[in-house]
Amino acid sequence: MNRPVVLVSDPLPPETLAGLDAHDIRHCDGTDPAALRAALTEAHALLVRSGTKVDAEAIAAAPHLRVVARAGVGLDNVDIDAATAAGVLVANAPRSNVLSVAELTVGLIIASLRGVQAAGASLRAGRWERQAFKGSELAGRTVGIVGLGNVGRLVARRLAAFDVTLLAYDPYVPAADAATHGCRLLELDDLMARSDVVTVHLPRTPQTTGLIGRRELALARPNLHLVNTSRGGIVDESALFSALREGSVGGAALDVFEVEPPIGSPLLDLDAVVATPHLGASTREAQDRAGREAVRAVYDALAGRPVPHAVNAAAVESARARLSAVD
Ligand code: MLT
């Protein structure tokens, strides 16, 4: 019997693929939709990070596909409805990189408060401007965590060491639960009005897109620092740009953007913005964990075993039953 074809369409550490030695592993550039569709015609499994858009057209081009495994957390690059309708399992690696993202968040909060990126650029340009870069301490500040899920909680735990007051907004978390993470739960408007630093840890969904816009930024304390290591589009970038230009927001640290890469974004020209190219999960440890978990999902799915982090398992079973009845 032919070996199942596993298509890898984003960079993954090669050693994490070792668990698939018995499979026919092929690679393609998932950022090229036509190349992806062509490669998918023979694939039984697809392994991605966030660079590959697994849209309805990609799914339609993959008649043998059984599973899409995401080496990472966010699934906004996978059309889960289209996959489910085609009987394709979708699985992610939900905790693989949360520690790396939380650590980067803490680093970016301090980088924003201290103007680290602009100061470094000035130094590299041959200047020595010690007076120009006067930042603020984190101790004594109030930090608002928007989204108290896996990453938000780790951020809360780490920030506790900095002698800050922690607030949180999360409609899915009870106040008592937030309190166990050292956070006082508030509505978003209250959190915006009381925080010196706001850090965002949400998935991008229709409900969270544009959640922090002009109105919310207008509620903020003078000199707010806004940090986003979750997904672009949750913070309205044009509202943020205006607020930074007008000085009503003091600084921002952005690892994620509405459109990635954010070519031509005026935010990148502002000294008050610390910007990194979606590096939250880019540590050796996180990539290793994410790769191994995604490979495990492929292995289990192709062997017909339950896949622990499949997000659509029940719906796929009914869809497969419907599809085989039609056959
Ligand atoms: C994730 O959702 O896992 C992170 O944003 C990292 C990535 O996109 O690969």
Mutation test residue for ligand 1: of 10, 278, 285, the one with most atoms within 8 Å of CB: 278
Q: Which atom of ligand 1 is nearest to the CA of 74?
A: 2
- Are 295 and 48 contacting, i.e. CB atoms less than 8 angstroms apart? no
Averaged over 40-48, what is the pLDDT? 98
The lowest-confidence range among 147-156, 284-293, 312-321 is 312-321
Does residue 72 have its Cβ closer than 6 Å to ligand 1? yes
pLDDT at 9: 98
Averaged over 176-202, what is the pLDDT? 98
Averaged over 162-191, what is the pLDDT? 98
Query: Dihedral of CA 243/245/247/252: which sign?
Result: positive
pLDDT in tens, 236-263: 999 999 999 999 999 999 999 999 999 9
Averaged over 317-325, what is the pLDDT? 86
Does residue 281 have its Cβ closer than 6 Å to ligand 1? yes
Confidence of residue 325 (pLDDT cuts 50, 70, 90): confident
How far is 43 from 5, CA to CA, in rounded Å? 5
Is residue 132 over pLDDT 90? yes
Q: State the average pLDDT for the chain.
A: 96
What distance in angstroms lies between residue 1's CA and the mean position of ligand 1's atoms? 35
Is residue 70 over pLDDT 60? yes
What is the DSSP secondary-structure string of 138-158? Answer: STT-EEEEE--SHHHHHHHHH
Does residue 280 have its Cβ closer than 6 Å to ligand 1? yes
Mutation test residue for ligand 1: of 48, 73, 200, 257, the one with most atoms within 8 Å of CB: 73
- Are 65 and 193 contacting, i.e. CB atoms less than 8 angstroms apart? no
How far is 292 from 288, CA to CA, in rounded Å? 6
278 is catalytic: yes
pLDDT at 16: 93
What distance in angstroms lies between residue 49's CA and the mean position of ligand 1's atoms? 7
pLDDT at 19: 85
Catalytic residue among 153, 231, 296, 309: 231
pLDDT at 183: 98
What distance in angstroms lies between residue 58's CA and the mean position of ligand 1's atoms? 20
Percentage of the chain lying above the pLDDT 90 cut: 95
What distance in angstroms lies between residue 70's CA and the mean position of ligand 1's atoms? 9
Identify which of 32, 38, 39, 53 has the alpha carbon closest to the alpha carbon of residue 8. 39
Ordered by start, the domain boundaries in the chain are: 5-96+284-326, 98-275
Averaged over 119-138, what is the pLDDT? 97
Percentage of the chain lying above the pLDDT 70 cut: 99
Identify which of 253, 279, 136 has the alpha carbon closest to the alpha carbon of residue 198. 253
Is residue 153 over pLDDT 60? yes
Averaged over 10-19, what is the pLDDT? 92
How far is 262 from 236, CA to CA, in rounded Å? 14
pLDDT at 324: 83
Could you give phi then psi for residue 146, rounded to 5 degrees? -95, 105
The structure tokens listed for 105 are 């968040």
98-275: which CATH architecture? 3-Layer(aba) Sandwich (3.40)
Positions of E strands within the chain:
5-8, 24-27, 45-48, 67-70, 89-91, 142-146, 165-169, 183-185, 197-200, 224-228, 249-254, 273-275
Catalytic residue among 278, 292, 296, 309: 278
The type of residue at 277 is P
What distance in angstroms lies between residue 293's CA and the mean position of ligand 1's atoms? 14
Which H or E run includes 233? none
Q: Which atom of ligand 1 is nearest to the CA of 70?
A: 3
The structure tokens listed for 19 are 């668990």
| Secondary structure letter of residue 4 according to DSSP | P
pLDDT in tens, 197-222: 999 999 999 999 999 999 999 999 99
What distance in angstroms lies between residue 313's CA and the mean position of ligand 1's atoms? 22
Which residue's CA is the nearest one to ligand 1's atom 8? Answer: 50
How far is 144 from 230, CA to CA, in rounded Å? 15
27 is catalytic: no
Catalytic residue among 27, 158, 260, 320: 260
pLDDT at 320: 85
| Secondary structure letter of residue 160 according to DSSP | G
pLDDT at 194: 98
- Are 233 and 205 contacting, i.e. CB atoms less than 8 angstroms apart? no
- Are 211 and 117 contacting, i.e. CB atoms less than 8 angstroms apart? no
pTM for the full predicted model: 0.93
Is residue 1 over pLDDT 70? no
Does residue 73 have its Cβ closer than 6 Å to ligand 1? yes
Tell which CATH classification among 3.40.50.720, 3.30.930.10, 3.40.30.10, 3.65.10.10 matches the domain 5-96+284-326: 3.40.50.720
